[in-house]
Amino acid sequence: MTERSPLAVPFPQIPPISGVTPRIARAGYKDWGRCDLTYIELAEGTAVAGVFTRNVCCSSEVELGREQVTGGQARALVVNAGNSNAFTGYRGREAVEAIMSQVAGHLGCSPDEVFVSSTGVIGVPLPKDKARAGIEAALTAPPCSWEEAAATIGTTDTFPKGAVARAIIGGTSVTIAGIIKGSGMIAPDMATMLGYLFTDAAIEPGFLQACLAAANARTFSCITVDSDTSTSDTVLAFATGQAGNAPLGSFEDAGADAFAAAVHDVCRQLAHLVVRDGEGAQKFIAVHVTGAVSDDSARRIGLAIANSPLVKTAIAGEDANWGRVVMAVGKAGEPADRDRLSIGFGATWAAREGQPLPDYDEAPVAAHLKQREISIEIDLGLGEGHATVWTCDLTHGYISINADYRS
Amino acid sequence: MTERSPLAVPFPQIPPISGVTPRIARAGYKDWGRCDLTYIELAEGTAVAGVFTRNVCCSSEVELGREQVTGGQARALVVNAGNSNAFTGYRGREAVEAIMSQVAGHLGCSPDEVFVSSTGVIGVPLPKDKARAGIEAALTAPPCSWEEAAATIGTTDTFPKGAVARAIIGGTSVTIAGIIKGSGMIAPDMATMLGYLFTDAAIEPGFLQACLAAANARTFSCITVDSDTSTSDTVLAFATGQAGNAPLGSFEDAGADAFAAAVHDVCRQLAHLVVRDGEGAQKFIAVHVTGAVSDDSARRIGLAIANSPLVKTAIAGEDANWGRVVMAVGKAGEPADRDRLSIGFGATWAAREGQPLPDYDEAPVAAHLKQREISIEIDLGLGEGHATVWTCDLTHGYISINADYRS
């Protein structure tokens, strides 16, 4: 890992999840002398749900994963780091199927219950021999910690990322743990990068999918680092059922709201961690949009601001350049009325209803912009729609990482 | 002007256009000791056409200009540099109307025949006193050259930009001259930044509008520097009719095709000049998309590539990272089939039909990427749709300009 992001936070205390056993090994996909293959064994009866990239040039892993999730059952997860295996045609697909067969043979399960993700260079078929040897080593490795697993799935990440939340379902306490990787090629409208949630709760697959999709819409789909949508993005949720709660099948069941809230909480934490490790990020930015004609419109306007290179460089320069925010609102393609628009930073209005405030005091805004955590407020004055979008600033670090990085 | 772009080209030889008299003056909108007000007088009977930004937070100048163009007649153009007057409410509108009245009083024409554009900081009302004194000075200044006028309309531009073309209409030679400014906040789907075309040809306003709109669709709407759409973008075309040709009213008229082609030629030249002065640009990039389901789909895919920060930084790093091109094609939201997609650089294919070429020789591609002028070829293998989009690379220069520039 390169220099740690200034926005990094410590890895949280995540307890073991009953029915989930992570192991790591060195497949050597790149010449980097670190573990790069993560193998997570799941107890029999584990339910699975997933959301995937909408990029139409997606990887075989994503294609297969979409089909596998419809079965609802999982026994293992394999994550390869250093090679995304995307845009590699039939050879790439064969490499994934070989991994699925190898693990299925070991566990005595169907290959469809073995989920594979890969992340890294695009266009190089995953080397089957390295994958085979890596899996073999992982199957016999001792169990590892959540932090070790989180570090092993990373590529350009500068710190390992995890989150945890708890919920009570019918008197039974359940835990939801998550790990994620991602730093660049992070964009809206999909499940971003590789993220995994694990819970000991008993949850029926359809309801697990509903909870994950709902959380995804307001977390992973509301972050952006650079507007570029990866070909491999995947978020999977696994529920082993070992906690012993009465299985949840719908929002009508007792404890369902608490479980859904905890899934949302873990997803939001993980999404924020990805932004905190945005390539070159020096500042964490929350864009709060209110007064839009709908929540979806608010989200699109928030993303137009969060994806604007001119807004992101202004924040990097600690410049309260609200004119660039006006520009971004106006280009979003959503209903907006220039003469009702208000813009603020750190809860101080700079402009209200289409005009700069005559008594605008820039001092509190300037002080706010020197912080690591920045907020931008936009009120459209049109309706009740609202959304929050998270991003980071655009700095020389992003250019250095991506003009020099040969993926 | 700051350091000249490495992609700059010399200002062309542009002859005087009969009926068009440019003058410049110092209004002092910024404390920069240079001329910043351009006044161009137009002969009676001059026809006008225009295309404007689609940004809904547009300036008063754009709002007024849209209405004025419907009248079809122009007597003067005023361009203020250093203050865009956007997002300034009724005070901004009053400042524009004051300029229109002042010039109309001098010329004895309707205020509606005086076109005003402004470019620079957003959110500060244009100071009326400076504008009035600047206009007064300009009205009595000696005529200036096209190059001086082009330099005066610029803001962060690093070189003055002009273009010229000729056409024969019914045996009469006519000239079309253009000047433009623009460097950042340059994005697709609209008439970009401030551009002006002047011709001595006699052209009816409706046909002038048709020619300009058609040229705009394949030139200004096919360039992008940073995906950010300005609040002030305007392209106006003025035809003084002094060349003495039989007036053109439709594409059926003799010479209409030649005139439309010349307008297209000038627009393309001007659009390329803006990209050549893209903030921080070190390379000029042409993205050629073929095999799409339609021309419009090809353009959208081209823009997704041209707006991708990961593609732009790869080119900056002279890295033939075609995986990032795959990613950008896939996120464009347009029909694409991963297994039919081919990608090349400088006319050398790197990947064909969904897979890296087994005998791919990177040497010619590496040599191509060291040049200033880069081409990227994408064939989708689906249909006959094609488009070319132009952009520049994304470098440390862009970050420096925009994190430090306090507009």
Q: pLDDT tens-digit profile of A73-102? A: 999 999 999 888 877 778 889 999 999 999
Question: Does residue A391 have an active-site annotation?
Answer: no
**pLDDT at residue number B227:** 67
C-alpha A88/C-alpha A31 separation (Å) is 20
B334: distance to nearest CA of chain A, Å?
A: 9
- The helix (run of H) or strand (run of E) holding residue A166 is strand A161-169
3-state secondary structure A318-349: CCCCHHHHHHHHHHCCCCCCHHHCEEEECCEE
**A186 pLDDT tier (thresholds 50, 70, 90):** low
B interface mutation test: which of A56, A341, A396 has the most B CBs within 10 A? Answer: A56
Closest-CA residue of chain B to A86: B323
Taking alpha carbons only, the member of B145, B392, B178, B375 closest to residue B268 is: B178
A2: distance to nearest CA of chain B, Å?
A: 19
The mean predicted confidence, pLDDT, of chain A is: 87
Q: Do A313 and B398 touch (CB under 8 A)?
A: yes
**pLDDT at residue number A230:** 62
B227 plus B290 within the same structural domain? no
Higher pLDDT, A323 or B404: A323
Residues B11/B150, Cβ–Cβ less than 8 Å: yes
Whichever domain contains A304, its CATH number is: 3.10.20.340
Among all chains, which residue has been given the structure tokens 């949280």?
A12
**A2 pLDDT tier (thresholds 50, 70, 90):** low
**A331 pLDDT tier (thresholds 50, 70, 90):** confident
* A129 is a domain residue: yes
Residues B42/B218, Cβ–Cβ less than 8 Å: no
Q: What angle do CA A154, A160, A161 make, to 5 degrees?
A: 105
Is residue B136's pLDDT more than 90? Answer: yes
Give chain A's domain count: 2
* A15 is a domain residue: no
**pLDDT at residue number B253:** 92
* A254 is a domain residue: yes
Whichever domain contains A154, its CATH number is: 3.60.70.12
* B185 is a domain residue: yes
| pTM attached to this predicted model | 0.78
Higher pLDDT, B382 or B310: B382
Per-residue pLDDT averaged across B89-102, rounded?
92
Residues B322/B351, Cβ–Cβ less than 8 Å: yes
C-alpha A187/C-alpha A190 separation (Å) is 8
B379 plus B314 within the same structural domain? yes
A241 plus A288 within the same structural domain? no
A389-400 tens-digit pLDDT: 999 998 888 888
Residues B392/B186, Cβ–Cβ less than 8 Å: no
**pLDDT at residue number A192:** 43
Taking alpha carbons only, the member of B252, B151, B165, B234 closest to residue B200 is: B165
C-alpha A361/C-alpha A359 separation (Å) is 6
Q: What is the DSSP letter of A248?
A: B
- Picking from B242, B276, B310, the residue at the C-terminal end of a domain is B276
Percent of chain B with pLDDT over 70: 94
**pLDDT at residue number B271:** 84
Is residue B265's pLDDT more than 70? Answer: yes
Tell me which chain B residues have a C-beta less than 8 angstroms from the C-beta of A88.
355-356
Tell me which chain B residues have a C-beta less than 8 angstroms from the C-beta of A395.
399, 403
* B13 is a domain residue: no
Tell me which chain A residues have a C-beta less than 8 angstroms from the C-beta of B319.
403, 406
B11: distance to nearest CA of chain A, Å?
A: 29
Q: Do B91 and A404 touch (CB under 8 A)?
A: no
Number of helices and strands in chain B (H, E) = 11, 14
Is residue A406's pLDDT more than 60? Answer: no
A35 plus A68 within the same structural domain? yes
Residues A26/A134, Cβ–Cβ less than 8 Å: yes
- Picking from B237, B256, B276, the residue at the C-terminal end of a domain is B276
Closest-CA residue of chain A to B229: A331
Per-residue pLDDT averaged across B11-15, rounded?
91
C-alpha B323/C-alpha A57 separation (Å) is 10
- Picking from B233, B255, B276, the residue at the C-terminal end of a domain is B276
Which structural domain range is residue A165 located in?
A: 20-276
Q: Do A308 and B339 touch (CB under 8 A)?
A: no
C-alpha A78/C-alpha A37 separation (Å) is 7
How many Cβ atoms sit within 10 Å of the Cβ of residue B261?
Answer: 14
* A144 is a domain residue: yes
Sign of the Cα pseudo-torsion (A321, A323, A324, A328, in order): positive
Per-residue pLDDT averaged across A20-36, rounded?
94
Q: Do B327 and A229 touch (CB under 8 A)?
A: yes
C-alpha B45/C-alpha B35 separation (Å) is 29
* B217 is a domain residue: yes
B204-229 tens-digit pLDDT: 999 999 998 888 888 888 777 776 66
Closest-CA residue of chain B to A306: B228
Is residue B56's pLDDT more than 80? Answer: no
**pLDDT at residue number A191:** 38
**pLDDT at residue number A119:** 87
- Among candidate residues A38, A53, A152, A192, the one labeled active-site is A192
**pLDDT at residue number B383:** 95
**pLDDT at residue number A165:** 87
B261: CB partners within 8 A, 6+ apart: B167
B316 plus B268 within the same structural domain? no
The mean predicted confidence, pLDDT, of chain B is: 88
Single-letter amino acid code for the residue at A327 = M
Tell me which chain B residues have a C-beta less than 8 angstroms from the C-beta of A354.
87, 89
B26 plus B146 within the same structural domain? yes
B344 plus B198 within the same structural domain? no
A104-139 tens-digit pLDDT: 999 999 999 999 989 887 778 899 999 999 999 999
Tell me which chain A residues have a C-beta less than 8 angstroms from the C-beta of B344.
none
A interface mutation test: which of B53, B54, B56, B227 has the most A CBs within 10 A? Answer: B56
Is residue A190's pLDDT more than 50? Answer: no
**pLDDT at residue number B193:** 66
A128 plus A239 within the same structural domain? yes
Percent of chain A with pLDDT over 70: 94
Closest partner residue to B227 (CB to CB) among A124, A184, A309 is A309
A227 plus A184 within the same structural domain? yes
Distance of CA B280 to the CA centre of its chain: 17
Q: Do A87 and B326 touch (CB under 8 A)?
A: yes
**pLDDT at residue number B355:** 82
Tell me which chain B residues have a C-beta less than 8 angstroms from the C-beta of A278.
none
Closest partner residue to A185 (CB to CB) among B327, B398, B405 is B327
Q: Do A339 and B89 touch (CB under 8 A)?
A: yes
Per-residue pLDDT averaged across A325-343, rounded?
88
Closest partner residue to A231 (CB to CB) among B56, B326, B399 is B326
A100 plus A162 within the same structural domain? yes
B128: distance to nearest CA of chain A, Å?
A: 17
B193 plus B265 within the same structural domain? yes
Percent of chain A with pLDDT over 90: 46
Q: Is A97 helix (H, G, I), strand (E, B) or coil?
A: helix
A323 plus A304 within the same structural domain? yes
* B170 is a domain residue: yes
